[in-house]
Every structure is written in structure tokens, then in C-alpha cells.
Structure 1
């Protein structure tokens, strides 16, 4: 392998072998790494006028990578978190390449000089109980699609699942006859967790099944949610979900101004976690419920919101007009001496 061939040879091995087979990363994670490298190639081609076929490790120094990160923010309007994600992906690739060829260690060290950007800490976005209630009432449950859309939102909230975990569900993942009805979700790193279902969610599920999975018996490999295009059944796309969520958000906002203008699937996950935290569930339980690898990730829900602050302040509020309760030992010297151990 010549030096000029190394870049794309290592890109191929990194994306097709190392990430999916050696690291067992999910398809979505591999896709994110692929997009980061693709964007870098697009930047080099359009901004540096270097043909893609001529890209080598020699031209990818830390100065160029730094300019690439700036380009993501200024030309593509990428958020700071997205810029950091792209940079982290490139650092992982360069580290892999350096492990394959020790002569590339200098290139990896050079790239390590590019710092991650500091992003301002944003408050946790979640729906209030009233906003959630109004949003769930928006689908027309007299129609087949309305029943589907409402159940989809109920399941997103009740399970606190990631959107891809819901879209990947198959009928075999439903365990409704167990002592505790539950659903099995497969998350990041192909880790599976069981999440209990509330009785109201089971009723929504049974109603949905009557419209979308009849007649019985069912093929357990069937997708729980699907779309039919030209007679062919396939997996529902995240874009499909985003479309009906934002449609319902617009109508819900006219009734309840607390509903944000844009509602994404992850907002239901944050909402469920915050509601559980506000109800007193320990963070360690919420970690397992959400499928987080570390409780450090779950700590984002520990910041008290305004409602919790108000409740805490009310508990410590002293009403100056209320009659003060006098101590039992007031004007009772004998009792005071007994309490003092005399």
C-alpha cells in the first residue's frame, strides 16, 4: 500500500470493519462517523480545491482540521455540540489509523491539538404535564392514523425510549402476558433492557394492534410500527415521525402556549425522565430506565427546575404573622435541666 492510498483504505476498514465488527457500534453510530469523514472530504474539495482522490494524511494537518470545524459552524450553521461531535469522530479515525501505521502517529498527535469548543450549558427542555396532556389529545383517534400517532407518542413518553429504539421494535419484543407487562428495547451498543408498561399504555397498544396487526396469528418478526408505500410494508422513518409530531405541536400550541414550536422525539424522553425525577425516583433507577451506561449522563436531570425550587422555598418559608410555637421548656426550669441531662 502506497502512502497516497492509505487514507481511503483506512477509511474503508474503519467504517466497514473496525466500528461495526470490532467495536460493535450500531448502524446509526457508524453513519455519524461516515458523515463526519464525508464532510471533511467535501470541505477539502470545495474550500481547499484539492481533488477528493488526492486527499492524503499529509494534507490533513491540525490547521486544516481547525479550519474545517470553523467552516461547519459558519457555512453549515452546525451547533457547537455538532462541531465537537465531528471533531471527536475524526480524532477516533486518526487514532485508528495511527494504530495501523505507526508513521501516522504524528498526524494523530497533530489533530489532538485541536481543542473541543466550550458550549454554553442550556437548560433541560421538557414538557410540563399540562403541555404533554394537550399534545397527546391532538390526534384524531376516530381515524386509523390518529390511533397510531397517539399510541406512538404515548409509548415514547411511557418508555422514555430513543426514537430508533421504538422504530426497531418487533412484535417479539412485546411481553404483555408476563406478570409485569413489559417491552424489550435494544439501545446503544446493542444492549437490551426491559421497560414495564403502564396499564393505560397496554390499552393503547391493544387498540393499535387491532388496526395494524390483524388478523392473528402474527409473525413475531413483524415491525410494531411500519408504513406502506405502493403496497410494500417497511420501517417507519424518523422523518415521518417528525412530520406528525410538529403538526400536532402547532395545533397544541394554540391551546397551550407552553407547548414548544418544535417537538422532537427526544423531548418525550427528557420529559419522562424529568417527571420521574420530580416524583422522587432516584437517579440510579432513572439511569437503568433510560439505558444510560453511566449515572453521570443521567445527572443532567438533577438540576432543579423552577417548580421544584418554588416547592423547596415554600417548605422553608417562615410566616411572620403566624403565632410562634413556644418551646416546651419555656418557663419550666425543671424540664430544661432534665433535657440537659442534669
Structure 2
């Protein structure tokens, strides 16, 4: 059996370069996020404990030290409770791997598992009203090529509910317009691919965009749907490029419609689509599949009644009461009220 203080950096290397990419087949972005968590642990130990990376051992990383690290992530770095909990999840996954490789680390892993996740306060999801969305979509100048591209990208981002990476990774070959139900293939987290149906109005915008940027005479199914040209070479459009024009359009839209938030970002379109679907009465299970969530708990964040939904519900109840014009069965019935409240 190996000693408890097996070389920490060697286990980290094997975990990030062999186990996660080859055995778990995790995406590059996921591996990057895991690496960031371990790298932050390294920075914590260096800054707060004056311990160099090569001096880190598993015996040093006990339950108390990891708890201190999580507090540092939240209090010193100013991260949210959600981020803190994510860092804890990654550390538990890493220790589980380490314990599989070296049975002597099973006990430290079991100790680490005892660290509870912090409770988070659920906050309403940020999203755009239909009017705010329409104002934002009319900001690009569609009299030029760039405006046509930027407007369609926002439309496609909303209509497909795609993550920005999913959208920018799209190639022409991922779009099927000849099927009975036209759709686009989106590849999300964990390299999971889902088919998202396209509506007729979306297809009209898509065809207009394709006629300008991907004319049939130069059709290449391997080309990125959204691209930039640098030194004559077509390249995948960057997230920074999208963020830049969204910032510009948000500013001009807010001058016309103050309801527009100060910050408009790609994921806001995804939240907006999900909320509009939920408000339209679409079951959460369908929204889950549409968004590509692996767990319904992730989709549950959209299941809350916003102010407009409450108002409509109250108006409906109010109208019903007016029609009935009857006295409530609980009026002047204290006994029933106590029972309904669980007090009797």
C-alpha cells in the first residue's frame, strides 16, 4: 500500500490529464473548471499557509483545512455560496478519485464528505419581458451586414435557448431544414447533443442570414454558422465579440425602454426563453429537455411565480369571486380557519 502522503501534484496531473478527459470523457470546459478549483486551493495554501505546491500532501489537506479554503473562497475572494458549494463538489470528486487510486486515502475522503454544502437563498431568475426583448432585438441596424448578423444571432440565441458556447460552436452541417420538422443540433455540457426544433419565423430569419453569409455558391457545411474574418480566414466568433455588441445594444435600448437591465449577457436570452415557456404553461420536464439540463432540479429555478403571473392569478380569482358573489365558507367560521391553518 502506498503511503498516505503520495505526491499530491502527481495525483492532480493524472486526474486532470488522464482520468477526466479519457475515462470520464469530460469536456474541455468542465476540466478547466475542475483545474481552477484545485488551482485556487494551491493559491490559498500559498497565500494563507505559506505552503508551496510541491509541499502539499494529502495528510495536510484535512477536513479543517478544506473548510478554511471554502471560507476563503467565499469571504476573501467574494464568491457566492453557489460557487463555494461547487468548489466543495469538485474537491469531493477529486478526493474520491484519489481514494480509488490509493486506499490509504479512503479515510480522508470520508472525512471530507462530512463537510455540508451551504444553504443557498433562491433568487428569481433574471429575464426579459416580451416587450423588452422586442426593443432589444430592434437595436441592430439591419441595413448593413453586421447588423443583420448581430440581430439574427440574438434571435437564434433566444429561439433555441442555446448556451453561447453551443451557438458559437454550430456549423452549417448541424442545421437540418429538409426534415419534416426542421431542427438544429446543439452540443452542450458533457458533449451531449440535443435536437432543437426550429419555428417557421426562426427559419425565415435563418434563410435571410444564410443568403448573406453562406450563399449556396460557396456552401461549406463545415463552416461555423457565426464567424469572423481575420486576415482573410474564417474563424469561430468569440464570446467577447458577442458581449461587446450586446453591451452596445443594451445601452441604446435602455434609453428607449428603461426596463432593459444595465447588463445584457448571452445567458439572459436562455433564461428569457425558459421563463417565457414556463409562463406559457409548458411543463418543466419539456423545458428541461429543451435546455439540455441533465437534472430537473436545475430547471426548477424557473418554477416561481413572478409579479405578472401573480397579478393574472389574483385577477382570475377576483373575477370568479365577483361572479359567484357568495360569502366564503370560512367567513365567521373560526373553527374551520384553525383547522385549515393546522392549529386544531
Same fold by TM-score greater than 0.5 = yes
Match of 1:334 in 2: none
**C-alpha contact 1:4 1:54 (8 A) present in aligned 2:** no
Distance in 2 (CA, whole Å) between partners of 1:200 and 1:48 is 59
Distance change in 2, residues 1:28/1:143 (3 Å): same
2:30 equivalent to 1:56: no
1:128 paired with 2:134, answer no
- In the alignment, the residues of structure 1 paired with residue 258 and residue 130 of structure 2 have an alpha-carbon distance, to the nearest angstrom, of 13
Residues in 1 aligned to 2:4 and 2:240: alpha-carbon distance in whole angstroms: 41
Structure 1 segment 185-264 matched on structure 2, within 5 A: 185-214=186-215, 216-264=217-265
Could you tell me how far apart the structure 2 residues matched to 1:5 and 1:101 are?
8
Greater Cα offset, 149-158 or 188-197: 188-197
TM-score by length of 2: 0.88
Distance 1:230 1:314, change over 3 A: same
C-alpha separation in 1, matches of 2:296 and 2:322: 44
Partner of 1:79 in structure 2? 80
Residue equivalent to 2:148: 147
Alpha-carbon distance change, 151 to 263 in structure 1, aligned in 2, over 3 angstroms: same
2:276 paired residue number: 275
Distance in 1, matches of 2:240 and 2:3, equals: 42
TM alignment of 1:19-98, pairs within 5 A: 19-98=20-99
Which residue matches 1:333? none
Q: Deviations over 1:200-249 (max 9, x none)?
A: 22122222223322462422221111223333332222222222222211
Alignment of 1:162-201 (within 5 A): 162-201=163-202
The TM-score with structure 1 as length reference comes to: 0.88
Q: Which of these two proteins has the greater Rg computed from alpha carbons?
A: 1
**CA distance in structure 2 between the partners assigned to 1:137 and 1:58 by the alignment:** 59
CA RMSD of aligned residues (A): 2.1
Tell which deviates more after alignment, 163-172 or 218-227. 218-227
Q: Does the residue aligned with 1:234 lie in a helix, a strand or coil?
A: strand
Corresponding residue for 2:13? 12
- Displacement of 1:60: 1.4
1:219 & 1:321 partners in 2: Cα distance?
63
The unaligned stretches of length 5 or more in structure 2 are: 327-344
